[in-house]
Each structure stands twice: as structure tokens, then as C-alpha cells.
Amino acid sequence: MRNEPLPSAIVTNDSGNTGGASPGNTPRPKYKRKLSNFLIDKKLQLRYVVVVVLISALIAGVLGYLIYQQERQASAALDAGLEAYGLGEVAQDLAAKDSALIYKMIAVGVGLAAILALFLVIMTHKVAGPLFKVSMYFDRMAVGRLSVVTPLRDGDMLRDFFDTFKHMHDAVRERQTADVGQMASAIDGLRAQPGMASAIATFEQHVAERQKLLN
């Protein structure tokens, strides 16, 4: 039978400190984002990016087509007058400019689509990040782990949703911490009873396992 007192549960604060050193003396390092890390949930983010870019490309294509049609009609009317005065070279010049306009509009459309896609990846990253983090904590809770919830990165969205989740998680963690403390007190009481060595050993093992889930 073990006679030493059971260690109390270790509960860390939001910055991961267990006490002693002041959080101000050990600041949390600022998270550095990398380009390869912007696609946290590729399925969600790319689906959204593709849909928005395709809709934008369709709208831009229709507007570009209407602009080209207006330009072409104006050039055709001007061509008819120039041909009547024998200015065929000027008419060919206008036709070449109309063709160049098509390529310019295509180039501008592709450039805008690329910029829009990059912007959407960055914006969806700020939403997918918190969702991924919450799902990670849900996976931990499913196996009984209740480690400290760390704060979001600067610039992340869904802060109200994340704060609500953190409040719920902290409440469950506090209850488990209180349960561990009560069980530790019960073990101390059982030690005074003779013939309880086997029961105490089993109880102590259970409490130790619950303590690990709080780290």
C-alpha cells in the first residue's frame, strides 16, 4: 500500500504555464503563417474558391461579351462609311483593334480570377482555421482529454463561436478537475480503513488516469 499523498491535478493556464514563472516573463511566441499552411481544409476552401471564381468568371465573360458586341457594332458602322470613301486600311486597323480588345479582356479576366482566388484562400483560411481547431478539441474530448484551449491566432474569424466553445470546454474541464480532487480526498479517507489496500490501489490508478487527461 502506498503511503505518500496523491499529487494534485495539474491545471495549466491559457498560455500553457503551470505556475511559478510569470506569463509576462515568458511571452507566447507569435504564430508565423506560411503559404503552404493557408489550405487547412482543402475540400472546404477549394470548393468555395472554385464556385466563387467560376461565378465571377461567368459574370465577367457576359459583361465582356456585351462590351465587345457594342464595340464591334460601332466598328462595323464606321467600316461601312470608310469603305465608301476608299479607306479600307483604316477599316482593317479597326478590325485588328477589336481582335486585340478580346485578348486584353481575356488577360484582365484571368488576372482578376487569380487575384480573387488568392484573396478567397486567405479569407477562407481565417474561417477554416478556427473550425479545424475546434474539431481537433472535439476529437480530444471524444477520448476524454480535456487539455487547455489555446487562443486563436491574430486575424482569425469566428471569435464569438470560438469563445462560446471555449467557455463550454472550460466548464467541463473544471468539473473534471473538481471530480479528481474529490476522488483524491476519498482515497485519503479510505487509507484509514483496514483491509482496503486493493481497493485503494485500483482507485488511485483511476484517479491517475483522470489526471493525465487534464494535461
Q: Is the pLDDT of residue 2 over 50?
A: no
Give me the helices (H) in the chain, please: 42-84, 88-142, 159-190, 197-212
So what's the pLDDT on residue 162?
92
Nearest to 173 by CA among 8, 19, 10: 10
Q: Is 87 helix (H, G, I), strand (E, B) or coil?
A: coil
**46 has a pLDDT exceeding 80:** yes
Q: What is the pLDDT of residue 17?
A: 44
The answer, yes or no, to whether residue 8 has pLDDT greater than 60, is no
Q: Which is nearest to 61 in space by CA: 115, 99, 103, 109?
A: 109
Q: Summarize pLDDT for 171-198 with one digit per residue, the tens.
A: 988 888 887 777 777 777 777 677 677 7
Q: What is the pLDDT of residues 51-65, one digit of tens each?
A: 988 998 898 888 888
Contact between 53 and 113 (Cβ < 8 Å):
yes
What's the mean pLDDT when you consider all of the chain?
A: 76
Residue bearing the bigger pLDDT, 207 or 35: 207
* 213, pLDDT greater than 90: no
Hunting for cell 486585340 — which residue is that?
100
